[in-house]
């Protein structure tokens, strides 16, 4: 099943709420991802441009969208971004397929 890496930032309101009432954000992320039909592989609080990162698995990227809508609509996070992650084996298969279809592409400069 496809893996997805999602990152985001907590809002100031969320930061205040976490100070006033600490909670396990991994449990919260797991709950919404499972409710949407996915699996949370890992959840990290991060430093830098984002505050958190979740690695999830869903049958289809469209299945992840409802969870992201719920999270975004809560107002608790901002700047949510998701990318599809490929395993080494998946990328090798893509390279092999590229080799079989390469002759079908005609670049404009040739």
> What is the tens place of the pLDDT at every residue in 56-108?
999 988 999 999 999 999 999 999 999 999 999 999 999 999 999 999 999 99
Per-residue confidence (pLDDT) for residue 109, from 0 to 100: 83
Q: How crowded is residue 56: how many other Cβ atoms within 10 Å of its Cβ?
A: 26
Domain ranges of the chain: 3-102
Place of tokens 């990318």: 83
Per-residue confidence (pLDDT) for residue 110, from 0 to 100: 66
Task: Name the 3-class secondary structure at 104.
Answer: helix
| Global pTM value | 0.87
Q: Which homologous superfamily is 3-102 in? A: Dimeric alpha+beta barrel (3.30.70.1060)
Number of separate helices (H) and strands (E) present in the chain: 4, 4
Per the CB < 8 A criterion, the answer to whether 8 and 78 are in contact is: yes
């Amino acid at each position: 099943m496809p893996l997805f890496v999602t990152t985001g930032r907590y809002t100031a309101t969320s930061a205040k709420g976490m100070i006033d009432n600490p909670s396990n954000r991994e449990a919260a992320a797991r709950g919404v991802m499972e409710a949407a039909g996915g699996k949370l592989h890992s959840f990290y609080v991060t430093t830098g441009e984002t505050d958190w990162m979740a690695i999830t698995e869903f049958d289809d990227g469209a299945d992840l969208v409802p969870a992201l809508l719920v999270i975004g609509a809560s107002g608790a996070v901002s700047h949510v971004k998701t990318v599809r992650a490929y395993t080494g084996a998946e990328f090798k298969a893509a390279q092999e397929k590229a080799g079989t279809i390469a002759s079908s592409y005609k670049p404009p400069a040739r």
